[in-house]
Amino acid sequence: MQAFENYLKRHTPLTGEQISVLKQELKEKTYQKGKILLREGESTGLGYFVCSGLLRAYTLDSQGKEHTIQFAPEDWWLGDRNSFYFHEPAAFNIDVLEETQVVIVTKNFMEHATEICPEFGKYHIYLLHNSIRYMQRRINQLLAATAEERYLDFIRLYPKLTLRISQIMIASYLGITPESLSRVRKELARRNSRV
């Protein structure tokens, strides 16, 4: 919970007192690697703030192949909007890639935080717009960017993940084959290696 409090103090106008009030309706949980927090089609109304660890949102296509939508390492939020906001069946699955400590939030938390601190509402809107512009960027990348451009963007957004997840998973996120990813990394090494 401390990581979440620190995040709120750093990024939002919530005061310590207000956070203490809001904390009462929050749950903190630790999940082991491999746990599935949400399955496509379920509607839990839950979103997650990652205090430590790593979550992933993904879908499975008709051949059973995984497509990674988003990662959520420390200080990231993750939720399926259908389930979290609209209480409709989730479009994505969410699973746990490393032992992860989360704070579980609901739509009520966001609304309550805005009630007691209207400025929080503005932060929430900022968060949403920021999220949308990343999604727009991602759509454009998946449509138009080269494999190398996608990889360079990935390491800017998630610099530490190359140390924490497999190449196959990174390739899945980037929408390229693992072989293409290897080629990109090999080419970067050819240009930049100091070994």
Binding footprint of other proteins on the chain (CB under 8 A): 155, 159-160, 162-163, 182, 185-195
Which sign, positive or negative, has the C-alpha torsion 134, 138, 144, 146?
A: positive
| 54 contacts 165 by C-beta, under 8 angstroms | yes
Residue closer to other proteins by CB (options 46, 145) is 145
Question: What's the min distance (Å) between Cβ of 131 and other proteins?
Answer: 24
Residue closer to other proteins by CB (options 36, 168) is 168
Tokens of 60: 């499975």
Question: What's the min distance (Å) between Cβ of 161 and other proteins?
Answer: 9
Residue closer to other proteins by CB (options 103, 171) is 171
Question: What's the min distance (Å) between Cβ of 33 and other proteins?
Answer: 12
Q: Across-strand partners of 104?
A: 27, 48
Closest by CA position to 41, among listed 83, 8, 2, 4 = 83
Question: What's the min distance (Å) between Cβ of 51 and other proteins?
Answer: 17
Q: Across-strand partners of 71?
A: 56
Residue closer to other proteins by CB (options 135, 189) is 189
Closest by CA position to 22, among listed 102, 101, 83, 108 = 108
